[in-house]
């Protein structure tokens, strides 16, 4: 028998800064309606928002999925984009390939991936140069 969970899925469009964060906002609201603990929701929202921003900043398009179970929330973000050549380097705080106009918006400081690992209980990243990047985060509810 498959595990019962609530699945939310939102398409993401690269360079669409106007609506950047909408998907994470909706995920956050559903978690609030379900009654997940506020400090857990905050961590999910931050991890999800950072991953969403990464797609908007770096990729052409992508999808963000939230699977909400009684004991945990899983966030999966898959994009079509340039991919990451050196993941270890990209994981380092302060390292970023974002251009200056992204920094002027308050992002591209090289904190996105480190933030995601900090917020989540499990973090996994797979990337292929010229194809795209997949990120998976798990947040335990207790």
Partner 1 sequence: MKLSDVKAILQAEVICGAEHLDQEAITVCGADLMSDVLAFSKEKTLLLTGLTNVQVIRTAEMGDLVGIVFVRGKRPGPEVIDMARDNGIPLMVTEYPLFESCGLLYSQGSFKGPRLAMTSDV
Give Cα separations from 111 to 47, 48, 105, 114, 139 (angstroms): 11, 14, 14, 5, 19
Instruction: Answer for the pair 125, 135: CB distance below 8 angstroms, yes or no.
Output: yes
Q: Which is nearer to partner 1, 3 or 14 (CB)?
A: 14
C-alpha span between 56 and 2 (Å, rounded)? 33
Least separation, in Å, of the C-beta of 5 and partner 1? 22
C-alpha span between 135 and 24 (Å, rounded)? 15
Q: Which is nearer to partner 1, 46 or 63 (CB)?
A: 46
Q: What are the tokens at 131?
A: 């194809």
Contacts with partner 1 by CB under 8 A lie at: 17-18, 20-21, 24-25, 28, 38-39, 42, 45-46, 48-50, 53, 103, 105-107, 109-112, 114-115, 118
Q: Which is nearer to partner 1, 5 or 114 (CB)?
A: 114
Least separation, in Å, of the C-beta of 21 and partner 1? 4
Least separation, in Å, of the C-beta of 111 and partner 1? 4
Least separation, in Å, of the C-beta of 109 and partner 1? 5
Question: Which one, of 128, 112, 109, lies nearest residue 120 by Cα?
Answer: 112
């Amino acid at each position: 028998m498959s595990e019962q969970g609530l699945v939310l899925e939102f398409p993401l469009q690269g360079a669409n800064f106007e609506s950047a964060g909408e998907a994470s906002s909706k995920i956050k609201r559903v978690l609030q309606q379900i009654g997940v603990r506020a400090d857990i929701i905050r961590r999910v929202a931050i991890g999800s928002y950072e991953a969403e921003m990464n797609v908007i900043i770096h990729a052409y398009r992508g999808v963000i999925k939230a699977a909400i179970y009684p004991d945990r929330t899983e966030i999966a973000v898959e994009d079509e984009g340039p991919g990451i050549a050196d993941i270890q380097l990209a994981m380092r705080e302060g390292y970023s390939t974002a251009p200056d106009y992204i920094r002027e918006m308050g992002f591209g400081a090289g904190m996105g991936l480190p933030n995601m690992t900090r917020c989540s209980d499990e973090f996994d990243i797979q990337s292929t140069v010229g194809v795209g990047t997949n990120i998976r985060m798990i947040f335990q509810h207790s």
